[in-house]
């Protein structure tokens, strides 16, 4: 039977390095995906995910299982992501004063024309890519806290109590936050939402 996250963390606290590796394997993918969707840069997302694991390791001796492990883990990740997004925003503002940004690195990554060339149904491929890009941009345009709430709710499937602890707000405030986020997404994705209804 698989050991629970809390048990693994207590084993790490007791000096079992192998349990840390198990936690790493269990959460590396959810963390990298969450952070990637928060910061929109793969390399940066991996750096931040490494930092999350490092902080977990550093805190092992003081670890007390007072809350769910995922609440603690994603709270660290969310705080790092929010700080990173804010720092990046300031950096972008500084860059925009000096020189115009012509090509967004992430946008460049998304232009997978070589893949499209190999795909016989290029039109369908481009439609799918455009659709995904619209969804990504709609999420990206959400205010940071709303974005974090949607990602934790939709992709990590955490319950409202957990998410409200991660975002340090009340459950009713979280419900209101999520409602506003879905309202924004509904408007931003209106063409796709309309297609979906057909």
Partner 1 sequence: MSCSRMENKILEYVDSRLKESERVEVEKHLATCAACRLRVNEFRAVSSLLDELPVIEPSPAFDLRVHARVAAEPVKQSWWAWFPAPRVAIAAAMLLLATVWVGTRPNPAPQIAQDDIPVLENLDVLSNFDVLSELPQPVQADDGGQTNPQM
Smallest separation, CB 39 to partner 1 (Å) = 12
Q: How many residues bind partner 1 (CB under 8 A)?
A: 43
Nearest C-alpha neighbor of 78 from the set 160, 138, 149, 154: 149
Kindly calculate the radius of gyration of the chain based on its CA atoms and give it in whole angstroms: 19
| CA angle, 155 then 135 then 121, to 5° | 110
E strand or H helix at 83, and its extent?
helix 69-98
Q: Would you say 42 and 105 are in contact if contact means Cβ atoms under 8 Å apart? A: no
* C-alpha to C-alpha distances, 123 to 90, 111, 113, 192, nearest whole angstrom: 38, 14, 11, 17
Please, which of residues 31-90 interact with partner 1 by CB under 8 A? Answer: 32-33, 36-37, 42, 46, 49-50, 53-54, 57-58, 61
Instruction: Note whether 131 binds partner 1 by CB under 8 A.
Output: yes
| Residue range at the interface with partner 1 (CB under 8 A); choices 18-26, 80-88, 91-99, 106-114 | 18-26
User: What's the length of the chain?
Assistant: 198
Out of 13, 26, 28, 145, name the contact with partner 1 by CB under 8 A.
Answer: 28
Smallest separation, CB 50 to partner 1 (Å) = 5
E strand or H helix at 158, and its extent?
none
Binding mask 156-195 for partner 1 (x = CB under 8 A): ---xx-----------x--xx-xx--x--xx--x--xx--
Judged by CB, which is closer to partner 1: 84, or 153? Answer: 153
* C-alpha to C-alpha distances, 170 to 40, 151, 163, 173, 187, nearest whole angstrom: 28, 18, 9, 5, 26
Interface residues with partner 1 (CB under 8 A) are 20-21, 24-25, 28-29, 32-33, 36-37, 42, 46, 49-50, 53-54, 57-58, 61, 131-132, 135-136, 139, 150, 153-155, 159-160, 172, 175-176, 178-179, 182, 185-186, 189, 192-193, 196-197
């Amino acid at each position: 039977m698989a050991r629970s996250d809390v048990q693994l963390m207590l084993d790490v606290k007791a000096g079992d390095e192998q349990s840390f590796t198990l936690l790493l394997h269990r959460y590396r993918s959810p963390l990298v995906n969450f952070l990637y969707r928060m910061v929109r840069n793969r390399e940066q997302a991996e750096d931040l995910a490494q930092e999350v694991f490092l902080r977990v390791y550093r805190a092992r001796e003081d670890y007390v299982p007072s809350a769910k492990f995922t609440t603690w883990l994603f709270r660290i990740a969310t705080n790092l992501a929010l700080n990173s997004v804010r720092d990046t925003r300031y950096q972008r503002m500084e860059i925009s004063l000096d020189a115009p940004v012509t090509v967004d690195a992430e946008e460049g990554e998304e232009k997978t024309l070589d893949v499209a060339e190999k795909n016989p149904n290029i039109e369908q491929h481009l439609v799918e890519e455009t659709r995904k890009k619209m969804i990504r941009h709609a999420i990206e345009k959400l205010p940071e806290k709303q974005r974090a709430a949607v990602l934790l709710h939709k992709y990590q499937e955490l319950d409202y109590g957990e998410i409200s602890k991660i975002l340090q707000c009340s459950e009713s405030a979280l419900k209101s936050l999520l409602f506003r986020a879905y309202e924004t997404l509904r408007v931003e994705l209106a063409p796709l939402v309309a297609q979906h209804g057909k």
